């Protein structure tokens, strides 16, 4: 058992060629040196030097020999999975998760750890520290860093949660910095909507998409917008809180202190809450989805209302940002096969026709675990949580 850990460090990436090599391997999988040279346009000698540096840094591993279509056989190179790993943490209003993965983003599902979100910030830090140390002890190689998907308003420059409507114990706190000091590894903290964007850009259906939006309708509601390959964050990184736009001035109380916010009527949490109130028992969204799939409960009124408000949210994103693709992340659309089509039809009625015609609505493939993993991998390889600019929009 190797408990050695990489010391906190800035960007591992020192040269553009290193970034190009890592990017092509992440996008296309294992390659020989000759194949890397052809895909990147970097000269053979430069590829050799670059690969040597990345092997020494522990970011790459060598595999078996391969006979390429052109040229001589060569050993395959891949992003490190055996010698190093990273951790990904998801902070939720009710539950937290911790996973590990190789630098290729493949999550070690057998190592998933979950725990109820503590009500005190100190206990939250202690719980993540305890579980992360146990996971680091179990890994056979170095754990290079920890990525964190975080809800609420996250001040980008200060890496501090300014205000979290559904997780007030984190208000004013710097969870990434606190865990970096406790664990002795580099950390990357990413607002959860942005984490979903990173997951889709890195491992999902937006790998070659430079302009898209992501609507998270799970616990709360947030929107992430990517333009030209960059996540739009606002001046301090506080943008994207679509869920706290008022849609009913006499509506339900929201965790932000307002009433009638969009996230109180158009999310997984909203649907579960409405059905629970009518049935007189508290259900989770997972339980609601399972019951609906088995046709064990009738809740057409609640479903229709949530779909109507969700269409309002989608139309707002389409009208404001004109995305090429709009991804939706949440569970409620799994409840019945026709829900996505019903949502699409309602959105088409509400969005401006030219913008709607230019946008493709799709279910998100990624999740916040992958977003946390992508965040720390980008931090380790570029010094940033988000990817650098894409070359061209799709």
Residue 236, pLDDT > 50, answer yes
Domain C-terminal end among 26, 45, 79: 79
**Helices 300-321/339-350 angle, 10° precision:** 50
222 and 343 share a domain?
A: yes
Smallest Cα–Cα separation from 121: which of 164, 185, 184? 164
Is the model's pLDDT at 203 over the cut of 50?
yes
8 is a domain residue = no
pLDDT in tens, 329-349: 999 999 999 999 999 999 999
Q: Looking at per-residue confidence, does 10 or 123 come out higher?
A: 123
Examine the domain organization and report whether 170 and 279 are in the same domain: no
Q: Over 60: is that where the pLDDT of 212 sits? A: yes
Total residues belonging to the chain: 394
Query: Is there a single domain that holds both residue 260 and residue 353?
Result: yes
Residue 229 lies in a domain: yes
CB 200 within 8 A of CB 192: no
Neighbours of 278 (CB within 10 A): 12
HSE-CB for 81 with a 13 A CA cutoff: 15
In the chain, helix, strand, coil percent, each to 5?
A: 40, 20, 35
The per-residue pLDDT of the chain, averaged, comes to 90
- Confidence at residue 66, expressed as pLDDT on a 0 to 100 scale: 66
Strand extents, DSSP E, 74-227? 74-79, 84-91, 95-101, 113-116, 142-150, 153-155, 160-163, 186-191, 212-216, 222-227
**26-35, 255-264, 349-358: least confidently modelled range:** 26-35
Give the list of residues 6+ apart from residue 190 with CB closer than 8 angstroms, or none: 147, 148, 149, 150, 154, 198, 371, 372, 375, 385, 386
Place of tokens 């109507």: 308
Q: Say whether both 72 and 162 belong to one domain.
A: no
Q: Would 393 be classed as within a structural domain?
A: no
251: phi then psi, degrees, rounded to nearest 5? -80, -165
Taking 70 as the threshold, does the pLDDT of residue 258 lie above it?
A: yes
Residue with structure tokens 């491992």?
203
pLDDT bucket at 19, cuts 50 / 70 / 90 = confident
- Take residue 94 and report the two structure tokens written for it: 């009710």
d(CA 361, CA 340): 9
Shared-domain flag, residues 41 and 128: no
Rounded to whole angstroms, the Cα distance separating 175 from 261 reads 27
Question: Which region among 108-112, 162-166, 213-217, 383-387 has the lowest average model confidence (pLDDT)?
Answer: 383-387
Q: How confident is the model at residue 387 (pLDDT cuts 50, 70, 90)?
A: low
pLDDT at residue number 25 = 87
For strands 186-191 and 142-150, give the pairing.
Answer: parallel
Domain shared by 272 and 226, yes or no: yes
* Whole-number Å distance between alpha carbons of 202 and 263: 27
Give pLDDT tens digits for 317-334.
Answer: 999 999 999 999 999 999
Q: Does 359 share its domain with 240?
A: yes
Domain check: are 28 and 103 in the same one?
no
Distance CA 129, CA 287 (A): 30
pLDDT at 5 over 90: no
Which of the two residues, 236 and 147, has the higher pLDDT score?
147
**Distance in angstroms (rounded) separating the CA atoms of residues 378 and 371:** 10
pLDDT digits (tens, 9 = 90+) for 38-67: 989 988 898 999 999 889 888 899 987 665
67-99: pLDDT as tens digits: 555 566 678 999 888 888 999 999 999 999 999
Q: Taking residues 382-386, report their average pLDDT.
A: 65
> 368-382 and 16-28 helices cross at what angle (nearest 10)?
150
Which pLDDT belongs to residue 69?
57
* Position 342 in a domain: yes
Which of these, 275, 277, 294, lies nearest to 285 by C-alpha position?
Answer: 275
Q: What is the side-by-side strand order in the sheet with 84-91? A: 113-116, 95-101, 84-91, 142-150, 186-191
Q: What is the CATH number of the domain that holds 221?
A: 3.30.420.40
For residues 252 and 312, membership in a common domain is answered with yes
Residues 41 and 116 in one domain: no
Q: How far is CA 35 from CA 30, 32, 38, 40, 66, in A?
A: 9, 5, 5, 9, 10
Q: Tell me if 231 is assigned to some domain.
A: yes
- pLDDT-derived band at 7, boundaries 50, 70, 90: very low
Token readout for 181 is 């000091």
H/E stretch holding 131:
helix 121-138
CATH number of the domain at 75, please: 1.10.10.10
> Pick from 79, 94, 128: which residue ends a domain?
79
**Tens of pLDDT along 286-297?**
999 999 999 999
Comparison of pLDDT for 320 and 10, the residue scoring more: 320
Q: What is the pLDDT of residue 28?
A: 79
Last residue of a domain, one of 37, 56, 79: 79
- 8-state DSSP, 165: T
Same-domain status, 211 and 358: yes
Torsion on CA atoms 257, 161, 197, 356, rounded to nearest 10: 30
Tally of domains in the chain? 3
Sign of CA dihedral 284, 288, 294, 297: positive
Confirm whether 134 is domain-assigned. Answer: yes
Whether residue 36 lies inside any domain: the answer is yes
pLDDT for 82 equals 81
Q: How many CB atoms lie within 10 A of CB 348?
A: 16
Residue 104 domain-assigned?
yes
Query: Is residue 377 located within the same domain as residue 345?
Result: no
pTM for the model: 0.88
Q: Which domain holds residue 75?
A: 16-79
């Amino acid at each position: 058992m190797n408990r050695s850990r990489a010391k906190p460090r800035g960007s591992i990436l020192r040269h553009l060629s290193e970034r190009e090599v890592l990017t092509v391997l992440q996008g296309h999988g294992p390659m020989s040196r000759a194949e890397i040279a052809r895909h990147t346009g970097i000269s053979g000698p430069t590829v050799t030097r670059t690969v040597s540096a990345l092997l020494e840094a522990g970011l790459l591993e060598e595999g078996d020999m391969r006979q390429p279509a052109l040229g001589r056989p060569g050993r395959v190179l891949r992003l490190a999975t055996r010698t190093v790993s990273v951790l990904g943490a998801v902070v939720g209003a009710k539950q937290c998760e911790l996973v590990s993965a190789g630098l290729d983003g493949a999550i070690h599902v057998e190592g998933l750890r979950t725990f109820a979100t503590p009500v005190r910030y100190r206990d939250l830090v202690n719980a993540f520290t305890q579980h992360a140390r146990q996971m680091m002890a179990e890994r056979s190689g170095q754990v290079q860093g920890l990525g964190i998907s975080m809800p609420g308003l996250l001040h980008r420059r200060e890496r501090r949660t300014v205000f979290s409507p559904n997780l007030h114990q984190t208000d004013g706190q710097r969870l990434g910095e606190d865990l970096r000091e406790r664990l002795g590894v580099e950390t990357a903290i990413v607002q959860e909507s942005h984490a979903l964007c990173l997951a889709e850009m890195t491992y999902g259906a937006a790998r070659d998409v430079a302009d898209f939006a992501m609507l998270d309708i799970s616990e709360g509601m947030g929107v992430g917008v990517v333009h030209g390959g960059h996540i739009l964050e606002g001046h301090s990184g506080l943008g994207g809180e679509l869920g706290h736009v008022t849609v009913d001035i006499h509506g339900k109380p929201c965790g932000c202190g307002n009433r009638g916010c969009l996230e109180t009527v158009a999310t997984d949490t909203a649907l579960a809450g409405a059905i629970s109130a009518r049935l007189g028992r508290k259900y989770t969204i997972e339980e609601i989805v399972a019951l609906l799939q088995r046709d064990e409960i009738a809740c057409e009124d609640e479903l229709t209302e949530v779909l109507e408000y969700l269409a309002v949210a989608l139309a707002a994103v389409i009208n404001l940002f004109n995305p090429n693709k709009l991804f939706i992340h949440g569970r409620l659309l799994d409840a019945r096969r026709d829900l996505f089509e019903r949502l699409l039809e309602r959105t088409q009625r509400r969005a401006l026709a030219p913008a709607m015609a230019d946008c493709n609505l799709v279910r998100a493939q990624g999740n916040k675990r992958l977003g946390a993993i992508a965040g720390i991998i980008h931090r380790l390889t570029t010094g940033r949580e988000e990817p650098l600019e894409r070359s061209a929009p799709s």
